Chains A and B, each alone.
Chain A
């Protein structure tokens, strides 16, 4: 256990095998096994992060198959390398995985009765793929892990209703296009640089100097295009709402916080480690129009979120808008934007988790997540709703939730780069989020029906207080994970400075343009 970095991946990998095997005769063992593997994986991720912080170079490296760097040049073996960024994302992935695993017992039993072993095996493989993406230092290996995550994701979604299967098909087609574009891009990189190791690629690109070759530029565009399709960036978002709305509860709880965010991480990784800041941020055409694209993405997604009348669908469009935030944070091309983006990856994972866990509970209790079925929820499930709306406030960006702080850095970045269109869009979309969530609060809080008639005694009393079963809280196995997630949202907000310190430390080697002397 000297190399916790590899155990981050091995725990869920072996766990999935164990789950699949044990499920054959002891179905009850699946859920504990899944939780245990995620516990192990989270422990390993924490351990890795600690090691990475402690080590002088701030990274932990592991060469698969013993192709050690002492004996062979870089790029011969596949390298797993956790710098602070990777370790942080791995921790987010495993942490979210752990919370969802805790949460999953009841919903999985209901959604996929009798197929728990398969479900949990896929679940763990998915986490294996996602945490692998965060850790790998090899561009092609990244492709494979993206596909591992994608294939298991298709499986997890399609295990829902027939409707889900139809939605998965869309996702599969778009996902494959995205991954293939990425693969093509990697091909061009390999063609040009002769290596697949990320650091090796960057060294070769930097050696090209001021005038990068056409191949590198083609590779850049292809890779980023692929990643953008996978992350549901606005024009390519169509797969996401359908897939998340119809998938089983646990699946959406796992995929919604992680998949898009991990792909944002891939984009950041491509910019920082693979292509290098000099190349990426000097690519004038790209950096000129990307913020505008994100503006369009945010506006469109926020507008579509406004049009929804169902919680999960609304949340799905919110994710698309948030993807716009983070992408914009990268392509406003400065230090604060990147801090904001990385921070927002973390905080968005936490708050989306919170919201989807809450939505899952609502679905479980009310049998619907449509807006018209939400009346009186504050009285029925005060704790669940508190957790849910802590996530909601974080999306709006109210202090002291983590969403405020990440948005703060994004706005700062926009101001420093003087991309006013981006800053203004952030403000406006914040207002949209206010409308979205306070509309929900209204629905749950007020005793007014669709057509605006007063209900209850006309004096605001729903009559629920006379009902003996007014408290109808979610079962603890679902409620506690939600509350954990909500407190994480608050804690990340309160201890944001520690997180930002680490993010600043991880960005130090890259010599990012800062614009102003900030400290």
Chain B
């Protein structure tokens, strides 16, 4: 275990220097797993949200800078001097003569762009989630279930009735029955 916390060791890289990224990958995998493996449609959607949130975490992480602040000009950087404290007499005159203007120092601010991007991504995520939930609702109303295996069985039945199944007759029946029996016992 010697050297675990040393510079450059895997452990340090994962849990100290890049903890954010580590967490985002873990979240991403959890979300992906839930989307693919979960049987309940709502749980799939929860997975989807986790998945998208992981990406948001990633984006926000890349904007982070140590010792930087939110991207609003500090008074000393402000080219317009609008952060200048208002004069004691209440005069509104711009005091750009009183304080020498500084060139903006990018290192002092976090990058605003990823945050802005994530606003859009959040909006997209919300829209997707809303649409997906309404689909769930419709599926539930139509088929009376939001469990994927039951749904698939029902869909196979419907297809068999309307004659648009992808499988041939005998196999179709075998596929349709299996999950049901498993559930009953």
Contact = CB atoms under 8 A, between A and B. Distances in A.
Interface of A: 140, 143-144, 147, 151, 154-155, 158, 162-163, 165-166, 168-169, 172-173, 176-177, 180, 183-184, 187, 190-191, 196, 241, 245, 308, 310, 313, 370
Contacts of A313: 164, 166
A370 B136 CA distance: 29
A169 B136 contact: yes
Given A147-B127, A165-B142, A176-B52, 19 more contacts: A140-B117, A147-B124, A147-B128, A154-B135, A155-B131, A162-B139, A162-B142, A163-B158, A163-B159, A165-B139, A166-B155, A169-B136, A172-B131, A172-B135, A173-B44, A183-B55, A187-B55, A187-B59, A370-B164
Interface in B162-182: 163-164, 166
A245 B164 contact: yes
Given A163-B158, A165-B142, A308-B166, A173 B136 contact: no
Interface string B123-143: 010011001100110110011
A176 B164 CA distance: 27
A411 B128 CA distance: 40
Label chain A's interface by main secondary structure.
helix
Contacts of A176: 35, 48, 51-52, 128
Given A165-B139, A177-B35, A180-B55, A190 B128 contact: no
A209 B59 CA distance: 26
Contact of B151 (A154, A158, A166): A166
B115 to A, nearest CB: 12
Contacts of A196: 113
B95 interface: no
Given A151-B128, A172-B132, A177-B51, A158 B35 contact: no
A241 B127 CA distance: 24
Contacts of A245: 164
18 contacts: A147-B124, A147-B127, A151-B124, A151-B127, A162-B139, A162-B142, A165-B139, A166-B139, A166-B142, A168-B135, A169-B135, A172-B135, A173-B48, A176-B48, A176-B51, A177-B32, A180-B52, A190-B62
A143 B28 CA distance: 18
Contact of A144 (B59, B120, B151, B155): B120
A333 B138 CA distance: 46
Contact of B41 (A154, A163, A169): A169
B79 interface: no
Nearest to B158: A163
A155 B127 CA distance: 11
A162 B155 CA distance: 10
A162 B21 CA distance: 41
B130 to A, nearest CB: 10
B114 interface: yes
B131 A154 contact: yes
B143 A162 contact: yes
B63 to A, nearest CB: 10
Contacts of A163: 155, 158-159
B23 interface: no
A172 B124 CA distance: 13
A143 B36 CA distance: 22
A294 B41 CA distance: 32
Contacts of B109: none
Contacts of A310: 164
**Which 8 A-B residue pairs are closest in the complex by CB-CB distance?**
A162-B142, A165-B138, A147-B124, A191-B62, A169-B135, A172-B132, A187-B59, A165-B135
Contact of B124 (A144, A158, A190): A144
A217 B113 CA distance: 23
A144 B41 CA distance: 25
B44 A187 contact: no
Nearest to A308: B166
A50 to B, nearest CB: 33
Nearest to B59: A187
B121 interface: yes
Contact of A162 (B32, B128, B138, B164): B138
Contacts of B142: 162, 165-166
A243 B116 CA distance: 33
Contacts of B159: 163
B116 to A, nearest CB: 10
Find the residue from A180, A191, A241, A245 having the highest chain B CB count within 10 A.
A180
A112 to B, nearest CB: 14
Contacts of A187: 55, 58-59, 62, 114
Find the residue from A155, A191, A245 having the highest chain B CB count within 10 A.
A191
Contacts of B135: 154, 158, 165, 168-169, 172
Find the residue from A151, A196, A241 having the highest chain B CB count within 10 A.
A151
B34 to A, nearest CB: 10
B59 to A, nearest CB: 5
Contacts of B164: 245, 310, 313, 370
A151 B127 CA distance: 8
A183 B131 contact: no
B125 to A, nearest CB: 9
B165 to A, nearest CB: 9
A190 B127 contact: no
A245 B165 CA distance: 11
B39 to A, nearest CB: 13
A173 B158 CA distance: 22
A158 B121 contact: no
A151 B131 contact: yes
Contacts of B36: 173
